[in-house]
Amino acid sequence: MSYSNRYTPYSSARSRARYNQRAADQQRDTTQVTLNKSIDVSCGQTFTYVHDTKLEYEEDVEDPEEFVGWKDTGCAAINIYDVLRRSEFFDSYSSMYDQVRIDSITAKITALSWVNGVNNGVENSVAEYLTPRSLTVVTAWDRSGLDSSQMYHMIDDGNPIFFCTVSKDITTYSSAKTKHLGPGTSYEITRYLYPSTLVEKSQFVSTSDLRQQYIRDNSEYFQYREFKWVTGVNGERIPSKFTVSSRYPTNLLRDPGVSFKPTLLLNVISGPDPTTVTLDGEDIGVNKLKPTTFNIEFDIVVTFRGLRYSRVVE
């Protein structure tokens, strides 16, 4: 008796198809891929004039000056889930898979443009911009997202905006690395991040929750505007279908529902604490740095799981 007909190529393909179908039905199908994204980001020591929104509509404040002041908003905070959302092939995978997990992150950071000099040129008390001979670049990882005290919230012309106020506190992170950028030098550094705890290694988030949360202004003000409004056909601003909430992995603020929310912090610091600059009797700002622009190349290894549908090979 011959048994050779039991193991034909056709029966083998049909068996694999049945197995894949069962795996998809039980949401056991996974795939690991590396997604890439290159972005340019500006940062640096700058001081933004802010006010307390809780007192914005108070008319009986005797001395409003005590409720306004300067905050260093120059630190860039880059949410890795947001970078992942913007990568070229994420939409293709997210249309098939329900969940995604971050397995490793590689960020290659290169300085593109910056301003420095021999000295400040004039006394700090009358110089709006500092031009130190050497700039101090600091990078760090925040694994769980920013605390609410590190994001300043303000209402501008009726629209909510945020500022990252990590400032020089970036140097207090245990993962902080410092490097100097001077005349005739270049700046390149590669930062890595891996899930370390069991919770981080096992955290899957819904691919549908990777929604845009902020639009970052790369000017010297470095503000984060909520992605909450869109422009209609006639140019009017209308609410979008997305909401801004810390429960989304792409939101910069930490949330108990997303314990692993990796965030790359990047800042250029130099010079003294803010000193008010006065010109012809008018307060025009405080000592700050011209923005430094960096290119960041991300390689993010992720695992997708939970196939929504599969094609059965006939």
Domain definitions of the chain by residue range: 33-52+65-307
Instruction: Supply the DSSP symbol for 312.
Output: P
Model pTM score: 0.80
Question: Coil, helix or strand for 303?
Answer: strand
Residue 18 host element (H or E): helix 9-25
Band (308; pLDDT cuts 50, 70, 90)? low
> Cα(131)–Cα(235) distance, rounded to whole angstroms?
41
29-87 pLDDT tens trace = 899 999 999 999 999 988 887 765 544 434 444 444 444 577 889 999 999 999 999 99
> Cα–Cα distance between 79 and 150 in angstroms, integer?
14
Strand locations in 149-291, DSSP E?
151-156, 159-164, 177-181, 188-193, 205-206, 214-216, 223-226, 229-231, 237-239, 263-269, 276-279, 282-286, 288-289
CB within 8 Å of 143: residues ≥ 6 apart: 193, 200, 260, 261, 262, 263
Residue count of the chain, please give it. Answer: 314
CATH code that applies to domain 33-52+65-307: 2.60.120
Phi, psi of 212 (to 5 degrees): -65, 135
Task: Work out the average pLDDT over 236-249.
Answer: 82
Token readout for 298 is 């991300």
Amino acid at 129: Y
- In the predicted model, is pLDDT for residue 20 greater than 70? no
DSSP summary character for residue 171: G
Residue 115 has pLDDT above 90, yes or no: no
Q: How confident is the model at residue 237 (pLDDT cuts 50, 70, 90)?
A: confident
Element (H, E) at 129: strand 129-130
Determine which of 230-239, 286-295, 298-307 has the lowest per-residue pLDDT on average.
230-239
Residues 6 or more apart whose CB falls under 8 angstroms from that of 68 comprise 49, 50, 51, 52
